[in-house]
Amino acid sequence: MPRVKRGTGRRDYRHKTMKLASGFFLTKSKLNRAAQEAVEKSLKYGYVGRRRKKRDFRRLWIVRINAATKSAGLSYSRFMNGLKIAGIDLNRKVLSDIATQDIKAFNALVEAARAALPANTPFPLKTTTAA
């Protein structure tokens, strides 16, 4: 059987791994096997993190909007429902920014949402009728 020499493939593969692992701690930045494992794990965490980021920011925006609506005397869910009924189509990112930067404008939105809601009473409870 003829001898197979790897050529530049082996070196390129290792060089790519070591470049991605630069800055890692101890053997993870110096030995190929340890570096390869660390790089694979870091790429996996990065992939998951990019999706997590979207969730985390949405949660942050909702918390900010909720805090601002509570101080204006309305719940978050009633506020969002009122905006929808009023036809005000702003996403949570923009609403959060308005709530933190311009409280007067946000209070105007709260009043618009409150005006659009049917009477300021809680939603009717479901009642069962006895037959």
Task: State whether 26 and 59 are in the same domain.
Answer: no
Task: State whether 72 and 109 are in the same domain.
Answer: yes
Query: Residue 7: pLDDT band by 50, 70, 90 thresholds?
Result: confident
Mean pLDDT of 12-28: 96
Mean pLDDT of 91-109: 97
| CA 79 to chain CA centroid, nearest Å | 21
Task: State whether 48 and 76 are in the same domain.
Answer: no
Q: Is residue 95 part of a domain?
A: yes
Task: State whether 90 and 63 are in the same domain.
Answer: yes
Give which of 68, 91, 66, 81 is closest to 116, Cα–Cα.
Answer: 81
Q: Is residue 5 part of a domain?
A: no
109 is in which domain, residue-wise?
Answer: 54-116
What is the number of structural domains in the chain?
2
Running DSSP on this structure, what letter comes out for residue 26? G
Task: State whether 38 and 82 are in the same domain.
Answer: no
Query: What's the whole-number average pLDDT of the chain?
Result: 91
**The domain spanning residue 96 has which CATH number?**
1.10.1900.20
Mean pLDDT of 83-101: 96
Mean pLDDT of 82-110: 96
Task: State whether 47 and 95 are in the same domain.
Answer: no
Task: State whether 61 and 48 are in the same domain.
Answer: no
Q: Is residue 131 part of a domain?
A: no
